[in-house]
Amino acid sequence: MIPARYARALFSLIMSGMMSCIVTGIATAKAVGFGPATLGDWMGSWVFSWPIAFTVILLLGPSVQRMVNRMVRPQG
């Protein structure tokens, strides 16, 4: 089991991986269409984009969470 202190980093890693995979897949299909090279092009885009997405989520996540906390009313 991973220690709780790594929860934010783990969340950022998983979320950035899933989101960048979906977004690059859609963008690749739109840009080049579907063909024999599509999967390779998609994976190349994803490998390039994932570290960037991870860094952005890791760095901006706390600021976005604070913004959301100011926008919502506490339950109860």
**Position 68, amino acid:** V
pLDDT of 51: 97
pTM, 2 dp: 0.84
Q: Phi and psi of 30, rounded to 5°?
A: -70, -40
pLDDT tens profile 19-73: 999 999 999 999 999 999 999 999 999 999 999 999 999 999 999 999 999 999 9
Q: Residues 19, 22, 47, CA angle at the centre, nearest 5°?
A: 80
